[in-house]
Structure 1
Amino acid sequence: MVAVPGSGAALAEGLLKVAEGMRTAPGCELYVVNRTPDEEDAVWVTEVWSDEAASDAALNRDLGEAGFGEVLPLLAGPPEFIELNPVGGPGLS
């Protein structure tokens, strides 16, 4: 996600609040907010879900309930999604 100029830290903080809400979301195995040292307004979220249905259910929650309502005004544009299929490694059940 790319924040409006100068709002990268605020976007990351808002997404950390979303991450707290994801702790109890059924099927959420990983939800990590990341920043890069060379892109001040870029924030990456790494998510791992038990299955597509769990991910869809989380995306279909009320935006305010999930905390996304607070971060949407900070976005410079729509988030880019990159879908991956993990094949294994430490940290995955």
Structure 2
Amino acid sequence: MVAHPGQGAALAATLLRVADGLRAAPGCEMYVINASADEPDTVWVTEVWADAEASDRALSADLGEVGIGEVLELLAGPPELVDLTPLGGPGLR
């Protein structure tokens, strides 16, 4: 995700609050916020869900005080999505 210029830290902080709201979400295997090492306004989210329904259910809900709408306000454009199929390894429950 690329934030509006100078808003990378705010985007990361907001996504970390979203991540906190997902700690007990059914089907959430991993939701990790990553800062780009060389692009201060770019933040990556690595997420793994048990299934698409769990992801849709959790991310469409109001996540405590922070919802996805607050994240979208900070974005300079639509997020780039890369769909992968995890095969295994450390980090999955």
Give me the TM-score of the superposition, normalised by structure 2.
Answer: 0.89
**Counterpart contact for 1:64–1:70, Cα < 8 Å:** no
Gap regions ≥5 residues in structure 2: none
CA RMSD of aligned residues (A): 1.7
The structure whose residues are more often strand, as a share, is 1
% same residue: 68
1:89 aligned residue: 89
Change (3 A) 1:86 1:80: same
**Counterpart contact for 1:27–1:49, Cα < 8 Å:** yes
**Counterpart contact for 2:36–2:43, Cα < 8 Å:** yes
**Counterpart contact for 1:63–1:69, Cα < 8 Å:** no
Quote the Cα distance in structure 2 between the aligned partners of 1:58 and 1:88.
Answer: 23
Task: Tell me the alpha carbon deviations over residues 33-54 of structure 1, each in whole angstroms, 9 at most, x when there is no partner.
Answer: 0011110100000001111211
Q: Secondary structure at the match of 2:47?
A: strand
Answer yes or no: is 1:77 the counterpart of 2:89. Answer: no
Quote the Cα distance in structure 1 between the aligned partners of 2:18 and 2:76.
Answer: 18
Task: Tell me the alpha carbon deviations over residues 55-87 of structure 1, each in whole angstroms, 9 at most, x when there is no partner.
Answer: 121233247765222222110011111110000
Quote the Cα distance in structure 2 between the aligned partners of 1:23 and 1:70.
Answer: 19
Residue identity opposite 1:77 in structure 2 = G
Quote the Cα distance in structure 2 between the aligned partners of 1:24 and 1:64.
Answer: 12
Quote the Cα distance in structure 1 between the aligned partners of 2:66 and 2:6.
Answer: 24
Quote the Cα distance in structure 1 between the aligned partners of 2:27 and 2:86.
Answer: 15
Aligned residues: 93
The structure whose residues are more often helix, as a share, is 1
Q: 4+ runs of 1 displaced by more than 3 Å?
A: 62-66
2:67 aligned residue: 67
